[in-house]
Amino acid sequence: MQPDRACRNKTSLPGQPRDPAALFVFNQRTSSIAGYLQGTVKIVPTLDLTLGARYTHDDKDGSFVGRNFNPAAASIQTNETTQLSSSEGRWTYRVTSPGVRAAT
């Protein structure tokens, strides 16, 4: 639901209970995609090395709408309309030696 409409409905619909003193509506949409790759190489007979890489991409957007209808509630809520958006793609890595075995 559109947050502004949610706020308006709260104040304008007839037959509803009394208006709230303040309210806020937050919504958010996230889409995330990720891929992972891992391989192990034998450096020397007693030492393996595992290499891994992951790519993650996150898109988030949303909005925050706060409405104050009663001055008595000013200490907890002010009028605010903020559009929110963030987009980030990142590589992360892992390099590990699963074990150094004692030479026999």
Partner 1 sequence: MLFATYSTGFKSGGFNSGNANTALGQLRVFNPETVEDYELGFKFQTSDRVLTLNATAYRMDVSDFQERALFGITPVVQNVGSLRQQGIEAEMTLKPIERLQLNAAIAYLDSKFKSYPNAPNIPGLTPATHDLSGYPLTFSPKVSGTAGIEYSAPVNDGLRVSLRSDLSYTGRHYAGTTIDGNPFTIQPGYALLSARATLFGRDDRWSIALFGDNLTDKRYCTNIAVQVFDAPLGLRNPTTGTGLRCFVGNPRTLGVRLTTSF
Contact footprint for partner 1 (CB under 8 A): 22, 24, 26, 28, 56, 58, 60, 62, 64, 66, 74-80, 82, 84-86, 88, 90-101
Question: Using CB atoms within 10 A of its CB, is residue 88 exposed (0-12), middle (13-18) or buried (19+)?
Answer: exposed
Cα(3)–Cα(49) distance, integer angstroms: 52
Cα(66)–Cα(78) distance, integer angstroms: 6
Per the CB < 8 A criterion, the answer to whether 80 and 26 are in contact is no
Residue (12 or 93) nearer to partner 1, CB: 93
Q: Considering the complex, what minimum distance in angstroms separates the CB of residue 58 from partner 1? A: 6
Q: Considering the complex, what minimum distance in angstroms separates the CB of residue 6 from partner 1? A: 15
Q: Considering the complex, what minimum distance in angstroms separates the CB of residue 16 from partner 1? A: 21
